[in-house]
Amino acid sequence: MKSPVCRSSWVFALALAAVAAAPVAAQPARTKVPDPIEVSLPTKDGVQLRATYYASTAGQQAVPVVMLHDFNETRAVFDPLARALQNPRVPENPAAPRIAPRAVLTVDLRGHGGSKTAHSASGATQELESNRFQQQDFRAMVDLDMEAVRTFLVQENDAGKLNLNSLGLLGSGMGANVAMIWAAKDWSTPPLAVRKQGQDVKALVLLSPRWNFNGLILRDPLRFPPIQRQLSVLIAYGAEDKAVAKDCQNIVSILSKHHPDPPADRVEQLKDFFVYAPETRLQGTKLLTSDAFGIGQKIVSFLESRLGSKSFPYSVRKH
């Protein structure tokens, strides 16, 4: 699948995240990774979600990252970032820590991209148009689309291809609201005595989240202690759009109370709450793909420090 997003200079900065400045000829090669593949994720109400899976070669150590687009966008906007996370360059210095390839899943949420067909139990088909969605359709992204995503991740986890217990979610606009609400649902799942379920999301990257996107309201998730305290969070938005900035500032105000700055000598190890608000009207993936602000590089560093460099126990889920 070709991405409509130009691979501008931020992509190359991402690809060189673990490499010190050096002449091009001296840059170390990347590890060979599988080509991205398109997968179909059926939901319980018959929608066939289309997604792209960037598999990792790190096995049970692979950090999974799910990327969720904004309203009337598609998963294609994340292709450069997904490729950079899946295939980081090997550090030139042998003593430097090596960044393990991530397992990335980019998803077309219902009514978007390739996820516009629903099949009923009777065999009838329905075309989904996002511009006609009601609040229940957006809520179904959380309740049904994300459960289909989880089913796929459980299968990959149990096959030893990733560690679901180190899950990161990245969402833009609408996708950011879906990510936070589903993270709260994940953390409210009751534990089982025989196997682990839930409490898998460990980090959120929120690009221009809104307080209320068509009924996807963040009030209750932001009142939920695990969302407040247990997750590492990165928020980025353009400060010159007053409506978006107001929503994001409210979110930051709530979460920042539960993430005090660590001592100066422990910032690298302990800091788990990051806010970037450059003076621009750009939001969401437009902010991400702009050359001017380095948001992509900040996301790469955040995911490495809060997920990749941490140790989360691996466990099989279905057996």
Q: What is the mean pLDDT of the segment spanning 167-180?
A: 98
Q: What is the mean pLDDT of the segment spanning 15-36?
A: 56
CB burial string 47-56: b at 16+ within 10 A, e below = bbbbbbbbbb
Please tell me the predicted confidence (pLDDT) of residue 94: 63
Question: 37 - beta bridge partners?
Answer: 53
**pLDDT-derived band at 92, boundaries 50, 70, 90:** low
**pLDDT-derived band at 14, boundaries 50, 70, 90:** very low
pLDDT in tens, 206-218: 999 999 999 999 9
Report the distance separating Cα 258 and Cα 297, nearest Å: 25
Please tell me the predicted confidence (pLDDT) of residue 30: 61
Please tell me the predicted confidence (pLDDT) of residue 6: 43
pLDDT exceeds cutoff 70 at 54 = yes
pLDDT in tens, 250-267: 999 999 999 999 999 998
Which of 29-38, 150-159, 305-314 has the highest average model confidence (pLDDT)?
A: 150-159
Q: What is the mean pLDDT of the segment spanning 126-130?
A: 94
H-only helix segments in 159-294: 174-188, 219-223, 225-229, 242-256, 267-270, 284-289
Please identify which residue in the block is written with the tokens 């000829």.
25
State the architecture of 37-90+97-308 in CATH terms: 3-Layer(aba) Sandwich (3.40)
pLDDT exceeds cutoff 50 at 3 = no
Q: What is the mean pLDDT of the segment spanning 261-288?
A: 95
Q: What is the mean pLDDT of the segment spanning 116-139?
A: 92
Report helix angle 146-158 to 174-188, nearest 10: 60
pLDDT exceeds cutoff 50 at 185 = yes
Mean pLDDT of the chain: 89
Report the distance separating Cα 22 and Cα 220, nearest Å: 48
Per-domain residue ranges of the chain: 37-90+97-308
- In this prediction the pTM is 0.90
Q: Of 1-15, 78-92, 139-153, where does mean pLDDT reach its minimum?
A: 1-15
Residue 292 corresponds to which tokens in the numbers above?
Answer: 């001017």
Question: 65 - beta bridge partners?
Answer: 104, 168
Report the distance separating Cα 151 and Cα 237, nearest Å: 31
**pLDDT-derived band at 2, boundaries 50, 70, 90:** very low
Please indicate whether residue 219 or residue 195 has the higher confidence score (pLDDT): 219
pLDDT exceeds cutoff 50 at 4 = no
Q: What DSSP letter does each residue of 105-173 carry, written as one string?
A: EEE--TTSTT--EEE-TTS-EEE--GGG--HHHHHHIIIIIHHHHHHHHHHHHHTTS--GGGEEEEEET
> Which class for 181: exposed (0-12), middle (13-18), buried (19 or more C-beta within 10 A)?
buried
pLDDT exceeds cutoff 70 at 55 = yes
